[in-house]
Chain A
Amino acid sequence: MLIEYRALGKRFWKGGKPVQAIDNLSFSVAKGEFVSVVGPSGCGKSTLLNLAAGLMAPTSGEVRYAGEPVRDVNHRVGYMTQKDSLMPWRTVEGNVDLALRIQGVARGERRDRTRHYINLVGLGGFEQHYPGELSGGMRKRVALARLLVYDPETLLMDEPFGALDAQLKMVMHEELLAIRDRTNKTIVFVTHDLTEAVTLSDRVVVLAPRPGRVKLIHEVPLERPRNVFQIRFTPRFGEIFETLWSAIEQDMRKGEEV
């Protein structure tokens, strides 16, 4: 197992009161697996990614990466946070080539790779624009290019396509799956879009909120490579969707009352 959450607990302090964000949560992600985490807001989805990235420490239990407990920033993962977190003072190109600069990749290669991924996310021609000049969806795509360009072993993605329109979303899905099939990357993908989760994943983890814990883990035994445009219309897809939806639905309604 590449990523293991073991009896994980995470408590935050909010206004002097402890809030149990995650309680006794365990599941693992195998190498090369695509796992989506879904659930209503407040179930600690983003916290799970922060823990795997080593940006915060669990209150109890542990997170292991490749057999080792995660103690510090985990350099083997690339993390696309929910906020796009672009440097407003760097152009699109300057944001995308960040990791390559840090690695000291030679200028020519850096430029080629950067341009390739900028084109891939459909932002060719915007290389010299600043993030402030772009729409929310465009900024998300810059963040995606910035993540993919340096080829991290594992991708942690927190609602990466939330701000995109439906068509572009599917194009991005296709691209992400192509990259995955080519590189066999491990991907942990947080979303609130069930269709997206089923389309992309090998397994879907449904969390229950307050405190966040595993409600259901469901396999998605759909064949790969998948056609992201048509797969949603297959009967098998519908069955999986229904199962997951009924698991989430109860908590969604509860969430509204709280």
Chain B
Amino acid sequence: MSEKAGALAAEVPSARAADDALHDAPVGTFWFTVKLWLARLVLLAVLLGAWEWASGTIIDPFWVSAPSQVLDRLREWIVTGSLWFHLGITLQETIAGFVSGSVAGMALGFLLGRNEFLARVLDPFILSIYSLPKVALAPLFILWFGIGIAAKIVLSAVIVFFLVFYNTYAGVRDADQDLIDVVRLMRGKRRHVLTIAVIPSAMVWVFTGLKIAVPYALIGAVVGEMMASNKGLGHLIEGSAGQFDTAGVFAALLVLMAISTTLHELLNRLERIVLRWKLVNR
């Protein structure tokens, strides 16, 4: 019986997993949370332990370094202060790119979502730029804006822009016409229709776009730094790799991971505040 269930679970992972989680342990209770985190910590310890062990016994540490060496390198960067400097640069680019790209994406998304003719006129233009791999624009931006942080911000913003724009646009188009009519019948002007019916409804989609865009904002900044820069985490990775310092590469990757998950979590919290009404709609 249990084997059968296991085989099924392998076939349809998502549905089965969700089902099992519901039946297995009462999700959300204190002990469930303790168990969950314990399991995660054990898995992390096993992975790190295996890495540490394998490095030097199976694989040459030159290629994979080792957790202890990565930690050493991080400690060194913290002591010399270079970590904070590079981290600060990358964060600055990522956040500036993310914010400007999202604001522009939301603005155009709302504008075109409410103006179908304009949307149709612009559609092929937007689509053709969208279909371009945006990192291919990096050399052009470096040419225009130099090797400072401006080029990275622009690259990051362009990538984020499309993700947020398309989601916002879809969200606006998805707004319930009945709700819009309610506002119109009450003598609501255009701005009332927007603020009362359209924007709150589109926020669900906007947040989906924003959350997808976080790691991409980081991609824009780091790719820019790797191409032409003398600072930032991308430069740190490029520099470490150039000196065959795998520990340095992994240390920088670790920091990138930390940035990305932190930003994602911040957005999650903001979403829980803005979309509070969704939490009760169960």
* Residues of A in contact with B (beta carbons under 8 Å apart): 53, 55, 73-75, 77-79, 81, 83, 85, 87-90, 98-99, 102-103, 129-133, 150
Contact = CB atoms under 8 A, between A and B. Distances in A.
Given A55-B181, A98-B196, A88 B281 contact: yes
A102 B200 CA distance: 16
Contacts of A81: 178, 182
A163 B159 CA distance: 49
B280 A130 contact: yes
Interface string B42-77: 000000000000000000000000000000000000
Contacts of A89: 200-201, 203, 275, 277
Max chain A CB contacts within 10 Å: which of B187, B197, B275? B187
B280 A133 contact: yes
B182 A85 contact: yes
Contacts of B186: 75, 78, 98-99, 102-103, 150
B196 A87 contact: yes
Contacts, number: 68
B184 interface: yes
Interface string B178-194: 11011111111100100
Interface of A is mostly: loop
Contacts of A78: 185-186
A75 B188 CA distance: 9
Nearest to B182: A85
B156 to A, nearest CB: 30
Given A81-B182, A132-B277, 18 more contacts: A53-B185, A55-B181, A73-B181, A74-B185, A79-B185, A81-B178, A85-B176, A85-B179, A87-B196, A88-B277, A88-B281, A89-B277, A90-B200, A98-B186, A130-B277, A131-B281, A132-B278, A132-B282
A133 B278 CA distance: 10
Interface in B138-157: none
A89 to B, nearest CB: 4
Interface in B196-217: 196-197, 200-201, 203
A77 B185 contact: yes
Given A75-B187, A132-B277, A85 B178 contact: yes
Contacts of A87: 179, 182, 196-197, 200
A133 B189 CA distance: 29
B182 A98 contact: yes
Nearest to B191: A102
Given A89-B201, A98-B196, A130 B185 contact: no
Contacts of B192: 102
A87 B192 CA distance: 13
30 contacts: A53-B185, A55-B185, A73-B184, A73-B185, A74-B185, A77-B185, A78-B185, A78-B186, A79-B182, A79-B185, A87-B179, A87-B182, A87-B197, A88-B277, A89-B200, A89-B201, A89-B275, A89-B277, A90-B196, A90-B200, A98-B182, A98-B196, A99-B186, A102-B188, A102-B192, A103-B186, A103-B187, A130-B281, A132-B282, A133-B281
Contacts of B281: 88, 130-133
A130 B196 CA distance: 15
A75 B185 contact: yes
Contacts of A55: 181, 185
A45 B211 CA distance: 45
A54 B78 CA distance: 68
A88 B201 CA distance: 9
B186 to A, nearest CB: 4
Contacts of A73: 181, 184-185
Nearest to A55: B181
B187 A102 contact: yes
Contacts of A130: 277, 280-281
B198 to A, nearest CB: 11
A225 B189 CA distance: 39
9 smallest A-B Cβ distances: which pairs? A132-B281, A99-B186, A89-B200, A89-B277, A85-B178, A130-B277, A73-B184, A130-B280, A75-B187
A78 B178 CA distance: 14
A187 B281 CA distance: 33
Nearest to B184: A73
Interface string B150-177: 0000000000000000000000000010
Contacts of B188: 102
Interface in B266-282: 275, 277-278, 280-282
